[in-house]
Structure 1
Amino acid sequence: MTHSATMEKVENGSSERLTLDAIVIGAGVAGLYQLYRLREQGLKVKVFETASNVGGTWYWNRYPGARFDSEAYIYQYFFSEDLYKGWSWSERFPAQPEIERWLNYVADRCDLRKDVYFNTTIKSAHFNEGTERWILETDAGLTIDAQFVITCCGMLSAPLTSTFAGQDTFKGQLFHTARWPKEPVDFSGKRVGIIGNGATGIQVIQTIADKVGHLKVFMRTPQYIIAMRNPKYGNEEVAAYKDRFHELAKTLPHTFSGFEYSFENGAWADLLPEQRREILETIWNDGSLKLWLASFSELFYDQSVCDEISEFVREKMRERITDPKLRDLLIPSDYGFGTHRVPLETNYLEAYLQPNVEIVSVKNNPIECVTPEGIKTADGTVHALDIIILATGFDAGSGALTRIDIRGRGARSLKEDWSRDIRTNMGLQIYGYPNLFTTGAPLAPSAALCNMTTCLQQQVDWISNCIKYLHDNNLKVIETTKEAEDQWVKHHDDIANKTLMTKTNSWYMGSNVEGKPRRLLSYIGGVGAYRQKCDEVAAEAYRGFIMS
């Protein structure tokens, strides 16, 4: 194969055509590493990024309080010991500005920026069956001809920004958390309303509660929470985690969630009640996601175990809230702990004890519209506001791809295909879309249930090795078979449907987007098990994929 990257004028010279071996969409955690790996093979590859800089999620989500809920020393690239040890974190769960600086450090240290087109959005990607290559168009009028397309758009990168009628009429300031301005927002003395109290909303609420004049939280579903333990790091702590580089690089890819911890407490039924309680107390005091992702695996599929652990968390929340009315509003009772995304928090519950913070329950009194003055609920009340914050979430997993006009064989539309049924083979390819690889897509752990750097690196490595296999064997096209995709979907669903997650409405199930097909977006069979299955497919000359 001839590796080529050429730019030529087309037609009347008003537009340009770029010819590449591969194009990567997105310059976040996955996109940067994908560029590194393909460039390492000698391929001519470019990254296209809507933002003005690298970072992906950590570029866009600069809202007040945004920070890791993965420990910083595991939310890392492990392909280079020097790269890992060349950066020192200031605390266990750093905030967004530090994370963005780290990703800029990675881009500069690996000299990646020169191959990234910033401020450029891919509008369409059509497979040309005659040439067996992809033709893509950008919002700037650039045409790209590429053999391979790798989407690294992010699983939470399609924000639900136009959620309520009348948003454009609001006279004050309106922000979505995923499109937060770089300039500071002045909250002092302002009447602020925030819609949404998931992981993002919680971070915003606890951060701005003491900075606003008055805060109204429009709350539909209360959340279980875990109190974050976030110690600062000095030289001793930094040296300690850096000494663990080889240990973490070896173990993280094989745990259930891609975190450093796994289920090591034995079977719930084999323990006495006091033993269970001791384990739960110890894990709770760790102040991490360990209670969710590494306490007892039965939490995910045994209703009685889920009920007991849920009550344990409710008890911890009641200790911090004595007001009966607040307890009713803030403590979940109609779904189980761990069946939704579990947020870490710092003094979130205490924010509601402040006299300037108010909960507006919209469960039975939904938001009707936004008016020029504020937010109107179904009972006719208009809540006068100066600032509205939309913490309304994302079209997760699939939205970033369906917002691009992607067309495969026979001009089939991915948006139309996924409007009927969201399907992939291992979250890596989609039947009918040759030479299109996906990361962070549905039906892989990276869609939600994973320490993202662990899973995204694994997918990038698999894709890179697959492309190298094609080149080494003088092959040009790879596409999953329908049978292999069907088998993976069935395997995914068989596991998912045994869990309690599928019985709860959440963005994990696509329930937050009207009309979205209902399916658990993330593979829940475990990160290590998923990796093993991907490795087995590759070892068998990419079983389930047709190559030519």
Structure 2
Amino acid sequence: MASTASSAQPVDHDVVVIGAGFTGMYALHTLRDLDVVCFEAGDGVGGTWYWNRYPGARVDIESMQYSYSFDDDLQQEWRWPEYFSPQADLEAYANHVADRFGLRERIRFSTRVDGLRFDEATDRWHVSVAGGAPVTARSVIAATGALNARNVPDFPGFERYQGEWHHTSAWPRDGVDFTGKRVGVIGTGSTGIQSIPVIAAAADHLTVFQRTPAYTLPAFNRPLDEAHEQDWKTNYRQRRAEMRTNTAASYRTSEVNHGSVFDHTPEQQREILEQAWSMRNGLLFLTTFTDTMTSLEANEVVAEFIRQKIRETVTDPVVAERLSPRTYPVGSKRICMDTGYYETFNRPNVELVDLRETPIVAFTEHGIRTADRDHDLDVVVLATGFDGVTGSFLRLDVTGVDGITLREKWQHRATNYLGLMVAGFPNLFMIHGPGSPGVLSQMISSGEWQVEWVTRLIRELRERGISRIDTTPEAEQGWGAEMDEMAEHTLYQYADSWYVGANIPGKPRQFMIYIGGFDRYTSRCEQVAQDGYEGFVLTPARASV
């Protein structure tokens, strides 16, 4: 695409894809026979695994299933060195896929979309890209990622700090040298938990500023066993099929149903939990009992087991207590997986600051001032997370029908239908958007399915001469009510998590993820399609278009 002035004649495409992560690349591949272009803000593919290069960055889904399923030759030829892949291996896999399927020629790298405007007269989206020629398209697929819009809290005096600072999702490609330095890490969510042990091993002194303690389980990562790899490759077809009918779009090789927590004596509970703890698949720990996520009393049994593990690991009882979550049920925030996280606090060069006891007052020129003292720091690492689920879409500055912006539409609630479309924003399809299974599913598998549903719809509309598809406010309201009703029967409502937007000041509180299960979600979407796209409004092309 030529870099001409914005007044130039727009270049028209069938489809614009935003984002060259795993779902964006699959959309490009699926629509390869159409005129499709992809805009990617980074200079490489991989999405999450392009941007998040922080120390210790690693996936929490087993490598053999955290991969594409659409091409069996790809599944058979690629080799994963570890059970849980580090960032570098995942980025390498994304690059391999881009090269193998010839995707790069349609990707415009280092090109950020800074505006989308729907033209009602032509049923086209006008796509504005920073420094690029104007573009129009009949359809837009926003594959921008659920965790992409980084959150940098408004710390008082932050601009005064003279030292080095980095956000975990904008890590320098060449890394950061912590040798001999005083380092502060703010945040103990997933990125903090993964990076803290690595930083502690290099830094002269590490201060961890903890806002809310997290439940984290051992990953038990290790080199991938050849027999395990071959077992997967032999059975890929069967297991991928099972994943498509699974509540989390994943294959649970070691899941054992032990019924309710209260079907067992306290001694039996601990024995079962001990076995689950050592199963070498931390995320399955929460499925040990059937009522962990529906009963506060059952949840507390599991939570106390984890707190006891913390007390057994951390030698200082005061530090162990500060690291022990007590204000929310286990699993109601994203469960973390770690490699030596709690053990790190036994190191003599590591200090834990509980911000609930001594909050940050301000940044100074030399570091951070908390309520009790100053902490001089050479490097500050912000592991402060993201404006989850909705943030990446809002950042696109979208204007729909009648000049309504997406930010205005979502001022009080992130309305949507099927997690795919928002009323008043025709022909704009969201992947992993609010109202979809998103982060509560295995995201490559669920992303593949969503892309297939959307691209099949795009083709059908072309064949039928439909120039515009939109959803209705009534369909949005129904989907929202269903989302709320399902969430009310779980323990997610008891946590101030990014699942409900609680980490972003002023963000409307709602549970943004479809919790009914990936299998139920796909059945609903397929039924909607079979019923003639119930809840959608299809407008035939006009002669002037």
- TM class by smaller structure: over 0.9
Preserved contact between residue 224 and residue 337 of structure 1 (Cα < 8 Å): yes
SS of equivalent residue, structure 2 residue 466: coil
Which of 263, 267, 280 aligns to 1:271? It is: 263
Q: Distance in 2 between matches of 1:96 and 1:345?
A: 14
Pick from 353, 357, 362 the counterpart of residue 364 of structure 1.
357
Q: How does 1:506-517 map onto structure 2 within 5 Å?
A: 506-517=497-508
**CA root-mean-square deviation:** 1.8
Which among 244, 263, 273 is matched to residue 235 of structure 2?
244
Greater mean deviation of Cα atoms: 450-459 or 61-70:
450-459
Any conservation in 2 of the 1:124–1:138 contact (CA below 8 Å)?
yes
3-state DSSP class of the match of 2:244?
helix
Give 1:483 shift: 1.2
**Corresponding position of 2:12:** 19
Corresponding position of 1:439: 431
Aligned equivalents of 2:503, 2:458: Cα separation in 1? 36
Task: State the TM-score, normalized to the length of structure 1.
Answer: 0.95
Instruction: List gaps (5 residues or longer) in structure 2.
Output: 540-545
Residues 28 and 57, structure 1, Cα contact 8 Å, conserved in 2: yes
Identity of aligned residues (%): 38
- Of 399, 402, 422, 2:391 maps to 399
1:141-540 alignment, distance < 5 Å: 141-161=132-152, 163-261=154-252, 264-265=256-257, 267-268=259-260, 271-273=263-265, 275-379=268-372, 381-446=373-438, 448-540=439-531
Aligned equivalents of 2:431 and 2:286: distance in 1?
A: 22
What one-letter code is carried by the residue in structure 1 that aligns with 2:298? V
CA contact 1:177–1:391 (8 Å) conserved in 2: yes
Query: Could you tell me the TM-score, scaled by structure 2's length?
Result: 0.95
Bigger drift between 227-236 and 67-76 goes to: 227-236
Point out where structure 1 has 5 or more consecutive residues left out of the alignment: 1-6
CA distance in 2 between counterparts of 1:127 and 1:54 reads 27
TM-aligned CA deviation for residue 521 of structure 1:
1.6
Residues matched between the structures, number:
537
* CA deviation vs aligned residue, 1:137-171 (integer Å, no higher than 9, x gap): 10113211100011000000000135323333321
Q: For residues 425 and 52 of structure 1, do their structure 2 counterparts lie closer, same or farther at Cα, with a shift above 3 Å needed?
A: same
Displacement of 1:343? 0.6
Cα distance in 2 for partners of 1:546, 1:279 equals: 52
Q: Quick check: 1:8–1:17 contact (8 Å CA) kept in 2?
A: no
Deviation at 1:259, TM superposition (A): 2.0
Deviations 1:148-202 (A, max 9, x none): 0110000000001353233333211100000000112111110000000111100
1:266-294 deviations in Å (ceiling 9; x for gaps): 53067323554443222211232344553
SS of corresponding position for 1:298: coil
Q: Contact 1:288–1:344 (CA<8 Å) still a contact in 2?
A: no
Q: 1:389, CA displacement in angstroms?
A: 0.2
Q: Deviations over 1:375-397 (max 9, x none)?
A: 12234x22110000000000000
Residue in 1 aligned with 2:543? Answer: none
Assess if the C-alpha contact under 8 Å between 1:252 and 1:260 holds in 2.
yes
Aligned equivalents of 1:14, 1:394: Cα separation in 2 = 35
Question: Residue 114 of structure 2 corresponds to which residue in structure 1?
Answer: 123
Task: Write the letter of the residue equivalent to 2:536.
Answer: F
1:102-113 aligned within 5 A: 102-113=93-104
Please give the alpha-carbon distance, in whole angstroms, between the structure 1 residues aligned to 2:203 and 2:257: 44
Q: Distance in 2 between matches of 1:234 and 1:296?
A: 29
Over 3 Å counting, the alpha-carbon distance change for 1:542 and 1:279 in structure 2 is: farther
- Provide Cα deviations, 1:61-83, integer angstroms capped at 9, x if missing partner: 00000001010011111111011
Contact in 2 for aligned 1:15/1:141 (Cα 8 Å): no
Name the SS of the counterpart of 2:201 in structure 1.
coil
**Are 2:360 and 2:371, in contact at CA under 8 Å, matched by a contact in 1?**
yes
Does the C-alpha gap of structure 1 residues 206 and 475 become closer, same or farther in structure 2, counting only changes over 3 Å?
Answer: same
Distance 1:178 1:362 in 2: 22
User: How far, CA to CA, are the matches of 2:283 and 2:56 in structure 1?
Assistant: 21
